[in-house]
Structure 1
Amino acid sequence: MNDINAWVWWLVAAAGLGIPLVVTAMPEFGMLAVGAVAAAVSAGLGAGVVLQVLVFAVVSVALIAVVRPVAARHRAQRPQLATGVEALKGKQAIVLERVDGSGGGRIKLGGEIWSARALDAGQAYEVGQEVDVVDIDGATAIVM
């Protein structure tokens, strides 16, 4: 075992840290693996054991301290481009058939004809009026 260089052991450690990264999908293991690779590079350049461990610790902690908050911010952000039903909310539509709270009306929304009902059951919209889509319930647009 003394014949194997220290940088090989660091690469083995990096591979060992890569396994739980894949199995658990915890990115912290990947950051520790990168720290082990940095320590392997320092060992390959002839650094002593203390410096190798220091490089491992500094690189690993720096990655965790910098990358985790950035990743958390990105995970918390809503998508910038709304697609599907979410893209229709807030759009304006034209009433083609009288729309009221019962849901028997029709609107033209985004070039398509949709069934629609009024958000307020007591409200009715006549043909030709512009309405705002506030929600989509199945295949029915909820308008006001």
Structure 2
Amino acid sequence: MNAIDAWVWWLVVAVALGIPLVVTAMPEFGMLAVGAVVAAGAAGLGFGIVVQVLAFVIVSVALIAVVRPIAARHSSRHPHLPTGIDALKGRQAVVTERVDGSGGRVKLAGEIWSARALDAARAYDVGQEVDVVDIDGATALVI
């Protein structure tokens, strides 16, 4: 096998490692593919098979040892951004129609919501600011 054949084979290996990277989304395959590309470069420069394999192994192991822990650390730090009804809990609303234990309406996040007082004995008049404790279906429970 001459030098041209060797670098072509290393590129074939890199592409073959890139396929499971795309299919499984496992970054380790990408790191191995980069190692194969470096080995292809070594073959293209005329280095022997021993240097090519060493380049592949050293680059692949170095990437897995260095990049993988960094990527794992970053992927585990997802900031919790509440969305949907979870984002409405704890917000303030303005009473637009008297709210008591049986119902009423509030303006919450720019929209009119049906509302109910969490404490059935309590009532809130128009214009009062209330805090949303929970969302029950399409009804905001307020205090």
Normalising by the smaller structure, the TM-score range is 0.7 to 0.9
What is the correspondence of 1:120-131 to structure 2 with a 5 Å cutoff?
A: 120-122=118-120, 124-127=122-125, 128-131=127-130
Matched with 1:57 is: 57
Match of 2:79 in 1: 78
Whole-angstrom CA distance in 2 between matches of 1:121 and 1:26: 51
Residues 93 and 17 (structure 1), Cα distance of their counterparts in 2 relative to 1, 3 Å cut: same
Offset from partner CA, 1:39-85 (integer Å, 9 cap, x none): 111221222322222221222223223333333334331256x5543
Query: In 2, Cα distance between the equivalents of 1:54 and 1:134?
Result: 62
TM norm structure 2 = 0.77
The percentage of counterpart residues that share the same residue type is 71
| Other-structure match for 1:136 | 135
State the alpha-carbon separation in 1 of the partners of residues 123 and 97 from structure 2.
Answer: 9
Q: 1:28 to 1:138 in 2, by over 3 A?
A: farther
Q: Give how far 1:123 is off.
A: 5.8
Report if aligned partners of 2:101, 2:123 keep a CA contact under 8 Å in 1.
no
The aligned counterpart of 1:88 is 88
Q: SS in structure 2 opposite 1:78?
A: coil
Partner of 2:26: 26
Distance 1:131 1:58, change over 3 A: farther
**Partner SS for 1:98:** strand
Q: How many corresponding residue pairs?
A: 140
Taking the aligned partners of 2:123 and 2:139, their CA distance within structure 1 comes to 15
What CA deviation, in whole Å up to 9, does each residue of 1:13-63 have, x standing for no partner?
Answer: 111111222222222111211111111112212223222222212222232
* Gap regions ≥5 residues in structure 1: none
Helix, strand or coil at the partner of 2:113:
strand
> 1:9 deviation in Å?
1.2
Cα separation, partners in 2 of 1:24 and 1:121, compared to 1, 3 Å: same
